[in-house]
């Protein structure tokens, strides 16, 4: 259902360093891009995350209510991604923990203030 989601950044080298390290924990890498946009994923046909300098070249602002949710693969994976993001300079928006009987999650804001959720859905 989802092809890709795009979030804005203000400093592409800083943002790619953050996302290269963070998403590398999941075996995700940069697939393609150009100066103002980079696409991350696991391969052709899979959902991707893109980071970009806004097309209108104005300052990026994180959306109110927007969030990118990234599967952690397990509760331990969620914990690891959260710790990695924090070590790379992300800010805490909710430490890892059980949110619902079937949802374990953690929340951070990336270097540009975009909200990320790392999660595991279980039965």
Q: Which residues pair with 38 in a beta bridge?
A: 33, 51
Express each pLDDT in 62-98 by its tens digit: 988 899 999 999 999 999 999 999 999 999 999 999 9
**Per-residue model confidence (pLDDT) at position 123:** 59
Average pLDDT over residues 91-118: 97
C-alpha triplet 61, 81, 29: angle, nearest 5°: 75
Query: What is the pLDDT averaged over residues 52-71?
Result: 93
**Residue where the block lists tokens 């959720």:** 117
Q: What is the pLDDT of residue 64?
A: 85
Rounded Cα–Cα distance for residues 85 and 88 (Å): 5
Indicate the average pLDDT of the chain: 95
- Kindly provide the residue ranges of all beta strands, DSSP E only, lying in the chain, ordered along the sequence: 4-8, 29-34, 37-41, 48-52, 68-71, 91-100, 103-109, 115-121
Q: Is the dihedral of CA 71, 78, 25, 17 positive or negative?
A: positive
């Amino acid at each position: 259902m989802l092809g890709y989601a795009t979030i804005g950044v203000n400093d592409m080298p800083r943002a790619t360093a953050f996302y290269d390290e963070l998403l590398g924990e999941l075996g995700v890498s940069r697939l393609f891009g150009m100066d103002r946009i980079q696409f991350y994923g696991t391969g052709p046909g899979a959902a991707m995350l893109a980071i970009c300098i806004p097309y209108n070249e104005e300052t990026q602002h994180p959306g109110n209510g927007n969030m990118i949710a990234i599967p952690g693969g397990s509760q331990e994976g969620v914990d690891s991604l959260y710790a990695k993001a924090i070590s790379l300079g992300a800010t805490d928006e909710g430490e890892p923990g059980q949110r619902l009987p079937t949802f374990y999650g953690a929340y951070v804001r990336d270097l540009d203030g975009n909200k990320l959720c790392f999660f595991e859905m279980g039965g």
